[in-house]
Amino acid sequence: MQTPAINVQNLSKNYGPVQAVDDVTFQVAPGELVGFLGPNGAGKSTCMRILTTWLPASSGYAWLNGYDVMYQSMEVRKNIGYLPESVPVYGEMRVREYLAYRAKLKGVERHGRSARIDHCMAKCRVKEVQNRLLNTLSKGYRQRVGLADTLLADPPILILDEPTSGLDPVQIGETLATIKELGGQHTILFSTHVLPEVEKVYDRVIIIDKGRIKFDETKKAIDSREASYLLEVRGPVEETTKFMREQPELASVESTTIGSDLAAFEVRTRDHKDHREALAARVVTKGWGLGRLEIRKPSLEAIFDDVVRQRYQAETAPVAPPAAEPDKTPAA
């Protein structure tokens, strides 16, 4: 079997009482472009900092290109380009000067160093600002200089923590286009909050929440998920629910009561065909109102919503009141 580019086994990290990463296991194959998603505080940065050797794990293991992050940190660092969440650049340096300094630090051979810097600046579209002081650049440009920095030594693995954070929509699009382009030549693990954009570039997505992996699927598997249909029917809830469950075309019906005479139904059809028109006609014939009728494609956003909402619902579910103390008052 091919050695995974990233191999994480039962990794955990706690900051005192805070369990930031909790028994995380996953592998990334060479050349894969993986979106690492999760809400704020999910544990993405902590995971990435462990993988890049900047933070020791509390327990568990991780290997990058076969090198152990704990015991072979120098080899790991040679194999990765890491873009931290806030790019630490030296404001008083000019872009080219900064990249030359970083390239030297990373051991890029003197012969060919200048050409390599040119190549990385072109890839990340920062050539036009190469003579500008870093502290005069916009956040978007600074982020791209950070990205160019990660490419200098041509590492096989790129770990990018929120490469699009703080950028405007145009800059986000450009940065993601660069990441996609790099995807063919490098293994990439990148974290983000911006779901609709990620949808355009990833090969696989891992969702982490409260330090645990909650979802891990390839784009191919997500795209082949079946669409569902969402209907909102106004009418006596018991009757409308019974009616939906009796429809012969439907393989599954999930209902949610919204009000005393309003229910939402998420349904899947047996033959995977779109029967919306027939269903709508039957609902209307019954004299009920149809407030909503839409197709729900298996989007990353919907999946993320489901994963995070499940957690939210579990957290906000009403807690059963404690059982009443048995009445200890002596009988009169």
Ligand X SMILES: Nc1ncnc2c1ncn2[C@@H]1O[C@H](COP(=O)(O)OP(=O)(O)OP(=O)(O)O)[C@@H](O)[C@H]1O
Residue ranges that bind ligand X, judged by CB under 6 A = 15, 18, 20, 38, 40-46
Could you tell me if 135 and 97 are in contact, meaning their C-beta atoms sit under 8 angstroms apart? no
The owner of tokens 């489901």 is 306
Residue whose CB is less far from ligand X, 21 or 145: 21
146 Cβ contact partners less than 8 Å away, ≥ 6 residues apart: 83, 84, 87, 89, 163
Residue 318: what are its φ and ψ, rounded to 5°? -60, 135
To the nearest whole angstrom, how small is the minimum distance from the Cβ of residue 191 to ligand X?
7
Kindly state the smallest distance separating residue 314's Cβ from ligand X, in Å.
Answer: 18
In the complex, minimum distance from the CB of residue 247 to ligand X, in angstroms, rounded to a whole number: 42
Shortest spacing between CB 278 and ligand X, in angstroms: 45
Which CB, 33 or 206, lies closer to ligand X?
206
| Distant-in-sequence contacts of 234-239, Cβ < 8 A, 24+ apart | 234/261, 234/262, 234/288, 234/289, 234/290, 234/291, 235/261, 235/283, 235/286, 235/287, 235/288, 235/289, 236/261, 237/261, 237/262, 237/263
CB 22, min distance to ligand X, A: 10
Work out how close the CB of 11 gets to ligand X at its nearest, in angstroms, rounded to a whole number.
Answer: 12
Q: Which is nearer to ligand X, 150 or 269 (CB)?
A: 150
Q: Which C-beta is closer to ligand X: that of 85 or that of 239?
A: 85
Other beta carbons within 10 angstroms of residue 219's beta carbon come to 16
Instruction: For ligand X, give the closer residue by CB, 46 or 52.
Output: 46
- Residue 69 or residue 283: which is nearer to ligand X going by CB? 69
User: Cβ distance 301 to 196 under 8 Å?
Assistant: yes
